Chain A
Amino acid sequence: MPVEYLKETPSQTAGPYVHIGTLPGHAGLPIRQNETLNVIEAPGEKIVIEGIVIDGSGAPVKDAMLELYQADSKGRVGANTLWARAGTIFETGEWRFDTIRPGALEWRGGKMQAPHLTLLVFARGINMHLHTRMYFPEDEAAHATDPALNRVEQVHRRRTLIAEKVKDGHYRFIIRLQGENETVFFDM
């Protein structure tokens, strides 16, 4: 018999009311309304990331909760890890983060990764959160050697991880859960 470990607590969907516990002001609760969890204040170049999550029929997912996690402007994580959380606007499904451009983060064996943001998607209908990454369109040279992008065997799918630049410092990132141009999701 192999060695037995405890089993990880199984995941369940965050459900439609995830905001009560994670973003109470967004849910309409009169508590913790001054929390602005979708804004990261840190040294570096200020950027805006906005986007939408689309389901397999092409409709926006209007009840999602997203978390962002990234290196600081010098590419450091650990105690410098930057984290944020956003709810989608119930009417439109749009979400937004105000943050800073991350530096290039080290990978294993001394290699470097291209600058990126890690994004987790939680929502009704999603049994276990989906883990993806957003890269910046202007970092093409770094993408060529990025270990995660290069792991995507179908080269055209790598594009699903690269944001569109709307204007300077402002990016749009569409997460497609299913079907045509489905976003690449990771099992890390």
Chain B
Amino acid sequence: MTTSPSAADARRPDFMKRDRSWHPPAYTPGYKTSVLRSPKCALLSLDQGPGEKTGPTFRADMLHELDNDLISNFASATGSTGLAIGERIIVHGRVLDEAGRPVPNTLIEIWQANAGGRYRHKKDTYLAPLDPNFGGCGRCMTDENGYYFFRTIKPGAYPWPNHGSDWRPAHIHFSIFGEAFAQRLISQLYFEGDPLIPLCPIVHTIADERAVQQLVAKLDMGEMRPFDCLAYRFDIVLRGRQQTFFENKREGM
């Protein structure tokens, strides 16, 4: 690992401004929990300094070889030789920035419910049972081309108390770091053709239908494994770094 002094990081190009009209706003009353958890004051815009233009780096050697295989990683960790029950799928894609450059060597973490919509979490009490061979936790790092790959079970829909019993569409949560803390992002992946997507108040915290579509993974028959598993393709776009650094006001803010 090399040491980059702050002075050099301070002069790295900035990231393009985040389009907050594309992302969901904080206050979205259709999603009731947001009502008391959304700031009333406007966010304070601030230039990016070295603390925003850098971020934590993770080493591939911290990963276990089954970390990106949710069909077997939980069973393996608990000493079982079983496999998870449900629709076997590959979820794969590339991580790019807004300028189309691949984002290599970045950590992606995912979590999800099992095939019946039940999470392995002490706070989930849904009556659908746990799968003894499914944990729902995975992670991997993108390769040098920004490519990533998971194998898992397609999660089930599940009810949640919002307007009576709303139902979440099948989804996989994902968390990604990028090259700098300015790119940090957590979101959710949905599945092509799911009729619950247009009904979901969490999906519809996003105003622009094109932005919603960006969260929908596409069935990818080209990558299905015959007599083994289907595949879904899901590309992720992080904020783009500008090309050059140019600071026109040395003393300005």
A interface residues with partner B (beta carbon < 8 Å): 5-22, 24, 27-32, 55-57, 59, 61, 63, 67, 69-71, 75-83, 90, 105-111, 113, 118, 120, 122-130, 147-148, 150-152, 157, 177-179, 182-188
Contact = CB atoms under 8 A, between A and B. Distances in A.
Decide if the interface of chain A is mainly helix, strand, loop or mixed.
loop
Complex A-B, nearest 10 residue pairs according to Cβ-Cβ distance, in ascending order: A21-B111, A125-B33, A78-B4, A83-B56, A125-B37, A127-B24, A56-B36, A20-B111, A187-B43, A28-B122
Among A80, A184, A188: residue with most chain B CB under 10 A: A188
A8 B18 contact: yes
Contact of B36 (A15, A31, A125, A129): A125
B252 interface: yes
Contact of B205 (A12, A77, A106, A186): A12
A20 B55 contact: no
Among B40, B98, B136, B181: residue with most chain A CB under 10 A: B181
B48 A6 contact: no
Decide if the interface of chain B is mainly helix, strand, loop or mixed.
loop
A27 B78 CA distance: 16
B46 A7 contact: no
Contacts of B16: 5
B70 to A, nearest CB: 10
15 contacts: A8-B239, A10-B187, A13-B34, A20-B112, A20-B121, A22-B109, A27-B122, A29-B74, A29-B137, A110-B250, A125-B31, A128-B24, A147-B49, A157-B41, A188-B52
